[in-house]
């Protein structure tokens, strides 16, 4: 255990798997947690494999502080040279990268204590000391008294705690978390999330968390990166990425509507749709008329009422000019109202989610108390309104 102290994790990696190319750059400061979120097949596992040493990058570099774990020469015009010429591929066991996955993968024939002591033993720590370290870690993860149990005599949540203790007892310089709560029930996952948060904070090492669950990012991560088709398409503080998503995937994760269109005023965006555009005012970026822009708002911030109760001249749809980039005529008020016909309904928390024919990508959540007073039959026309203060506008 005479390794140098760690430092920040830096991975600038190009990796090819069959036809797929991962091309990303991530940096995680010591003590920081970066959540990487992405749909299936976006390259999350490939990124982890490149850092852990299970897959050599085609180009790029992986390092912890000054310690280079992997370096490949730049090839095929890809500029990922870090200035070093020598190819490096440190053995998995020598990387000091801890990986906690979805399944605990404990040695079935070893007790909880022996499983945790395995890492220190592999680093040459005498047996008695390794056992003391393991015992301490089992206590830290809330499993005192279960040292002698075999994995088969532990619950799934307990096994995952042992796996966390085993990973951290090896004193990694970097922690990789690959959907570590996905296989646990809700209560065990919540307890484990809390435990990971507490224990990793005490170690001050960079942590990269791969997850499908925005809750993991909200609870654990300082920053979040959205990975799509092998590229990072958005990266920033977790609150910023989930609060102002720039892709439909990130919007779906955050549970908000993201619609793209053209700016028609400094604070208004026209969104095309079957049956006429919607023009929405909001707050956020100062938009440039005629340029692409997006709006983000919560499905629950939309109010629905019978279409008959709306003056058609007030509804943004048909009364707006056809040219999508034409500025908003100041004599025509944009009141953030539009009309749509009910296409489908599904349960939403505390009410009903409405999707209309005109805008199938737009979800509207109506509380049950309001829904009972509406005609929600398929094809029924409703008027929708969202307050400008509930709409975030962004340049694209
Ligand atoms: N052995 C392989 N041969 C060819 N293509 C592969 C191989 N392994 C993975 N891929 C492809 O590489 C891409 C990235 O896969 P990867 O497992 O990194 O994605 P992921 O984001 O981790 O997905 P998931 O969320 O489903 O685990 C996918 O398109 C996948 O089909």
- Counted residue by residue, the chain has a size of 396
Q: Which residue from 243, 227, 236 is spatially nearest to 24, judged by alpha carbons?
A: 227
CA dihedral 36, 41, 45, 46 (to 10 degrees): -110
pTM score over 0.95: no
Nearest CA to ligand 1 atom 3: 18
Q: HSE of 321 in the Cβ direction (CA atoms, 13 Å)? A: 14
Contact 38, 24 (CB under 8 A): no
Identify which has the larger pLDDT, 252 or 308: 252
CA of 45 from ligand 1 middle (Å) equals 7
Task: From 58, 64, 56, select the one nearest 10 (Cα to Cα).
Answer: 64
Closest residue CA from atom 10 of ligand 1: 17
Residue 82: the pLDDT is 52
Distance from C-alpha of 188 to C-alpha of 169, rounded to nearest angstrom = 21
Residue 2 has pLDDT above 50, yes or no: no
Measuring from atom 31 of ligand 1, which residue has the nearest CA? Answer: 41
Lowest mean pLDDT among 3-17, 48-62, 279-293: 3-17
Token pair 């019978």 is at which residue? 306
Q: Of all protein residues, whose CA lies closest to atom 6 belonging to ligand 1?
A: 17
> What's the mean pLDDT in 335-361?
92
Alpha helix ranges (H) inside the chain: 44-52, 112-122, 127-140, 156-169, 186-203, 214-220, 238-243, 248-254, 316-319, 368-371
Whether 344 has a pLDDT exceeding 80, the answer reads yes
Please state which of the four CATH numbers 3.90.730.10, 3.40.50.1110, 3.40.190.10, 3.40.50.300 is assigned to the domain occupying 9-243: 3.40.50.300
Q: What is the mean pLDDT of the chain?
A: 88
Q: Which of 11, 14, 15, 17 to mutate to test the pocket of ligand 1 (most atoms within 8 A of CB)?
A: 17
228 lines ligand 1 (CB under 6 A): no
Name the residue with the closest Cα to ligand 1, atom 25: 40
Q: Which residue has a Cα nearest atom 13 of ligand 1? A: 41
User: What are 14-62's pLDDT values in tens digits?
Assistant: 999 999 999 999 999 998 999 999 988 999 999 999 999 999 999 999 9
Backbone angles phi, psi at 384, to 5 degrees: -120, 145
Phi, psi of 390 (to 5 degrees): -95, 0
What whole-number distance in Å separates Cα of residue 359 and Cα of residue 224? 29
pLDDT in tens, 313-330: 445 444 444 455 566 665
Cα-to-centroid distance, 49 and ligand 1 (Å): 11
pLDDT at residue 173, as a whole number: 95
Nearest to 61 by CA among 34, 36, 80, 86: 80
Q: Which two tokens stand for residue 29?
A: 């400061």
Q: How far is the CA of 217 from the centre of ligand 1 (A)?
A: 22
User: In angstroms, what is the span from residue 43 Cα to ligand 1's centroid?
Assistant: 6
Q: What is the mean pLDDT of residues 374-382?
A: 93
Burial of 57 (C-beta count, 10 Å sphere; 0-12/13-18/19+)? buried
Per-residue pLDDT tens over the stretch 81-108: 455 567 888 998 889 999 999 999 999 9
What is the Å distance from ligand 1's center to 232 Cα?
A: 16
Residue 41 alpha carbon to ligand 1 centre in Å: 5
C-alpha span between 74 and 80 (Å, rounded)? 6
Residue 360, both tokens: 């199938």
Please give the distance, rounded to the nearest whole angstrom, from the Cα atom of residue 168 to the centre of ligand 1.
Answer: 27
Using CA atoms, how far apart are residues 23 and 5, in angstroms rounded to an integer?
Answer: 28
Whether the Cβ atoms of residue 371 and residue 352 lie closer than 8 Å to each other: yes
Residue 310, pLDDT score: 54
**What is the predicted pLDDT for the residue at 74?**
56
* Confidence grade of residue 134 (pLDDT, cut at 50, 70, 90): very high
Domain spans in the chain, listed from the N-terminal domain onward:
9-243, 256-395
User: Would you call 123 exposed, middle or buried from its count of C-beta atoms within 10 A (0-12, 13-18, 19+)?
Assistant: middle
Tokens, residue 187: 């209560």
pLDDT (mean) for 304-313: 69
Cα–Cα dist 233/311, whole Å: 41
Which position has the higher pLDDT, 5 or 181? 181
Say if strands 33-37 and 207-211 run parallel, antiparallel, or are unpaired.
Answer: parallel
- Average pLDDT (336-354) is 93
In this structure, the residue with its CA closest to atom 27 of ligand 1 is: 40
Q: What is the largest CA-CA distance in the chain?
A: 83
Residue range 77-82: average pLDDT? 47
Q: Report which ligand 1 atom has the smallest distance to the Cα of 49.
A: 18
Q: Is 71 in the pocket of ligand 1 (CB under 6 A)?
A: no
Whether 101 is in the pocket of ligand 1, judged by its Cβ within 6 Å, is no
Mutate to test the pocket of ligand 1, among 46, 48, 227 (most ligand atoms within 8 A of CB): 46
CA of 59 to the centre of ligand 1 (A): 18
C-beta 230 within 6 A of ligand 1: no
Average pLDDT (272-288) is: 90
Mean of pLDDT values over 198-207: 88
**What 8-state DSSP symbol labels residue 124?**
T
The DSSP line for 38-86 is --TTSSHHHHHHHHHTSS--SEEEEEETTEEEEEE---TT-----S--S
- Report the nearest atom of ligand 1 relative to the CA of 210: 22
Confidence of residue 210 (pLDDT cuts 50, 70, 90): very high
For residue 104, the SS3 value is: coil
């Amino acid at each position: 255990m005479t390794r140098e102290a760690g430092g920040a994790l830096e991975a600038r990696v190009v990796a090819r798997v069959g036809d797929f190319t991962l091309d990303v750059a991530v940096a995680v400061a010591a003590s920081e947690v970066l959540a990487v979120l992405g749909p299936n097949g976006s390259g999350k596992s490939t990124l982890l494999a490149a850092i852990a040493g299970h897959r050599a990058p085609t180009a790029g570099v992986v390092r912890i502080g000054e310690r280079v774990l992997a370096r490949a020469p730049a090839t095929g015009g890809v500029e990922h040279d870090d200035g070093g010429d020598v190819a490096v591929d440190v053995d998995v066991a020598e990387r000091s990268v801890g990986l906690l996955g979805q399944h605990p993968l404990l040695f079935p024939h070893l007790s909880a204590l022996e499983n945790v002591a395995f890492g220190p033993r592999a680093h040459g720590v005498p047996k008695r000391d390794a056992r003391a370290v393991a015992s301490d870690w089992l206590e830290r993860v809330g499993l005192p008294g279960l040292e002698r149990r075999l994995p088969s005599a532990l619950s799934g949540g307990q096994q995952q705690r042992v796996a966390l203790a085993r990973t951290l007892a090896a004193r990694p310089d970097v922690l990789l978390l690959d959907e570590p709560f996905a296989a646990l029930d809700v209560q065990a996952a919540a307890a484990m999330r809390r435990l990971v948060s507490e224990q990793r904070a005490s170690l001050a090492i960079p942590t990269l968390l791969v997850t499908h669950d925005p809750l993991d990012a909200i609870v654990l991560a300082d920053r979040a990166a959205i990975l799509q088709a092998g590229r990072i398409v958005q990266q920033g503080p977790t609150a910023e990425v989930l609060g102002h998503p720039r892709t439909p995937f990130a919007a779906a994760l955050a549970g908000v509507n993201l619609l793209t269109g053209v700016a028609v005023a400094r604070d208004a965006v026209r969104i095309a749709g079957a049956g006429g555009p919607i023009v929405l005012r909001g707050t956020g970026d100062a938009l440039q008329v005629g340029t692409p822009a997006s709006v983000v708002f919560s499905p629950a911030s939309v109010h629905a009422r019978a279409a008959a109760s709306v003056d058609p001249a007030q509804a943004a749809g048909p009364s707006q000019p056809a040219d999508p980039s034409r500025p908003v005529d100041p004599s025509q008020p944009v009141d953030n109202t539009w009309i749509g016909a009910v296409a489908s309904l599904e349960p939403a928390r505390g009410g009903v989610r409405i999707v209309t024919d005109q805008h199938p990508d737009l979800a509207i959540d109506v509380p049950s108390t309001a829904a009972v007073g509406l005609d929600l039959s398929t094809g029924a026309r409703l008027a929708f309104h969202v307050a400008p203060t509930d709409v975030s506008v962004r340049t694209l």
